[in-house]
Structure 1
Amino acid sequence: MLEGLPPNGASHVMHVDAPEHEARAIAEYLGESFDPAEVAAAAFEVENRAEGAGWAVEVYFGDPPDEDMVRELIALVSPAAAAAATFSLLDKKDWVAASLEGLAPVAIGRFVVHGSHDRGRLAPSRIGIEIEAALAFGTGHHGTTKGCLAAIDAFGKQRRPGRTLDVGTGTGVLAMAAARLFHAPVLASDIDKVAVTTAQANAIANRAAPHIRFLHAPGLGAGAFRREGPYDLILANILLAPLKGIARPLSRLLAPGGTVVLSGLLPSHANAALAAYRAQGLRLKRRRTIEGWTTLELTADRGRNITPAARR
């Protein structure tokens, strides 16, 4: 999930004030709804706003946006915010400096996601994952990724996976977390070539690259997924529609007794995702809701048969 600084040449901005949980949800949802090369979304805390708001969302566009469509997307999270959204021309601004303001490290379990400006402040007992400020939104600073990091941390307290799969890796933060914690093979894929290139660079910078293989692939049809499986831990931090679409092939890649972590879900979408995976024989292990986003942890019984296609 790549959201953050305005894209080069951005000329328009949408702004709306909202409570924190709505602001984060709106930024995450809009960031996933547009091409990250053309549009960027950010939620941030502000001062002197109306009581009950306290946070704002800004979405930056390279071309004049379809205002009605943007409002319809916002309304999926908050009809009131959709009505209050404003659109204007973008003022010139030092975006790198602005992105650093208030961008504090995020601690989840044993992990700390941070920018380079906080590199020297980490406790020795923590696993630091450094993401540049321009890429920080949509990684550890959103409820979807926080839920996944918490699930990885909890899984690691019970067992060490032989293999991990990260579907829709984005900046690679989840793949890096698994690699740094488990020191075991991780296959990380994304439909976006730019995301794969970015994730590879991040893995090198975070000393996680030796354990991670990055793959540019749409869906789960590539032979590499089957050859390197089955997987004890599968991570999929995407959206409801693609999660439902890959339920069958993803479940076939899971090892008996393994865990699937699904995120990128609004609470109202969680049951639909759960139903799709229950139909594949998985059962709910834990549900987490953080900052207005739900993460599901599902498991397969140890006696569950692996299909021939998923065997190594």
Structure 2
Amino acid sequence: MLEGLHPTSPTHLMRLETSERAARRVADIVSETFDPAETAVAAFEAPDGKIWLVEVFFREQPDEANVRELVRVAAGEAVAACLTFHAIESKDWVRTSLDGLKPVVAGRFTVYGSHDRDQVAVNAIPIEIEAALAFGTGHHGTTLGCLRAIDALAKRRRAFRPLDVGTGTGVLAIAAGLRHRVAVLASDIDQVSVAAARDNAVLNKARTYVHAIHAAGLKDARFRYGAPYDLVLANILPRPLVGLATDLVRLIAPGGTVVLSGIIPPHANMVISAYRTRGLRLVSRQEIEGWVTLTMQK
């Protein structure tokens, strides 16, 4: 799992080796406590399969005592005592985060790093995501859930006007563009993410499909120019999803589908209610690695 937009210039790293259960608890409390624009939280199984790793990247030097107290509350004194803190160069997290991660298969999609190009099946739709200061490698449960939803929806009907809100690395926009062979409008509040999405679209021969723009919210006129959208992807966080609900639903075509993720189970009903009261019905709910992906239809 991976939570938050990676800070543009991370300066410090917190690292923890522990059990899967403790790793998930620590990642959840840290991600809910700190601003996702200032920190990035990753929890994943180590390559040897024996332990789990938690890594938190900070834009500014953290209050170590405060972080330890949070971890103590979430996972106990012994786990908190195992935390280590390091000063890092601005790009060290990239290699740390991606080294050892295996290709991710989601339906017809395979998301992989450049070091795994030879491991992609011939009949797969390959998506190579290079190291970048943006969220979305496919290894997080939210991204994986969205990719599976895109693939499942494509088996039933083609999308002609997709929109990807909070695109990060652009992985979902690239997936929708390649799967449906149509142009996708992709937006992000973070300039670094927009640049990463554009670079990854070029890398994956999807430049003609992905149009990445810098925009906060959905009031920018460029969203209205492409509306209505018959497929909307929004892999962000519960509160922004609820806050955007009114504007987002207005952009969806009748019968259109929205895939929502970045949601932990206790917040799922809140998100469902926000969209259901605006005329959408729940089509499916899937949970991967403690994260919920919702598919709803207008």
**Pairwise TM-score range, normalised by the shorter structure:** 0.7 to 0.9
Number of aligned pairs? Answer: 294
CA distance, structure 2, for counterparts of residue 137 and residue 21 of structure 1: 23
CA distance, structure 2, for counterparts of residue 29 and residue 235 of structure 1: 25
CA distance, structure 1, for counterparts of residue 273 and residue 30 of structure 2: 22
Q: How far has the Cα of 1:31 moved from its partner?
A: 9.4
Q: Structure 1's 100 and 11: CA in aligned 2 closer, same or farther, altered over 3 A? A: closer
Q: Which of 127, 130, 133 is the aligned partner of 2:128?
A: 130
CA distance, structure 2, for counterparts of residue 126 and residue 282 of structure 1: 32
Q: How far has the Cα of 1:17 moved from its partner?
A: 2.0
Q: Structure 1's 82 and 275: CA in aligned 2 closer, same or farther, altered over 3 A? A: farther
Q: Structure 1's 251 and 103: CA in aligned 2 closer, same or farther, altered over 3 A? A: same
What is aligned with 1:308?
A: none
CA distance, structure 2, for counterparts of residue 186 and residue 29 of structure 1: 33
For the 8 Å contact 1:15–1:59, the answer to whether it is kept is no
What is aligned with 2:148?
A: 150
Q: Which runs of 5+ in 1 are unaligned?
A: 301-312
Structure 1, 80-89 or 274-283: larger mean CA deviation: 80-89
Q: How far has the Cα of 1:235 moved from its partner?
A: 0.4
> Quick one: which amino acid aligns to residue 43 of structure 1?
A
Superposed counterparts of 1:66-105, under 5 Å: 66-67=63-64, 70=67, 79-80=74-75, 84-86=79-81, 87-90=83-86, 98-105=96-103
Secondary structure (helix, strand or coil) at the match of 1:233 reads strand
The one-character-per-residue Cα deviations of 1:35-92 (angstroms, maximum 9, x if unpaired) are 65x644332324899xxx83120213353313466468769xx822698335444177
CA distance, structure 2, for counterparts of residue 15 and residue 55 of structure 1: 8
Structure 1, 251-260 or 88-97: larger mean CA deviation: 88-97
What is aligned with 2:53?
A: 56
CA distance, structure 2, for counterparts of residue 181 and residue 29 of structure 1: 35
CA distance, structure 1, for counterparts of residue 23 and residue 138 of structure 2: 17
The one-character-per-residue Cα deviations of 1:94-126 (angstroms, maximum 9, x if unpaired) are 766644542110000000000001113222210
Q: Which runs of 5+ in 2 are unaligned?
A: none
What is aligned with 2:189?
A: 191
The one-character-per-residue Cα deviations of 1:112-167 (angstroms, maximum 9, x if unpaired) are 00000111322221011101245697430000000000100011001111100000
What is aligned with 1:110?
A: 108
> Quick one: which amino acid aligns to residue 79 of structure 2?
A
Structure 1, 134-143 or 57-66: larger mean CA deviation: 134-143
| Identity fraction in percent | 50
TM-score for the superposition, normalised by structure 2:
0.85
CA distance, structure 1, for counterparts of residue 167 and residue 158 of structure 2: 20
CA distance, structure 1, for counterparts of residue 227 and residue 62 of structure 2: 42
CA distance, structure 2, for counterparts of residue 55 and residue 229 of structure 1: 43
TM-score for the superposition, normalised by structure 1:
0.82
What is aligned with 1:307?
A: none
Q: How far has the Cα of 1:224 moved from its partner?
A: 1.1
For the 8 Å contact 2:13–2:55, the answer to whether it is kept is no
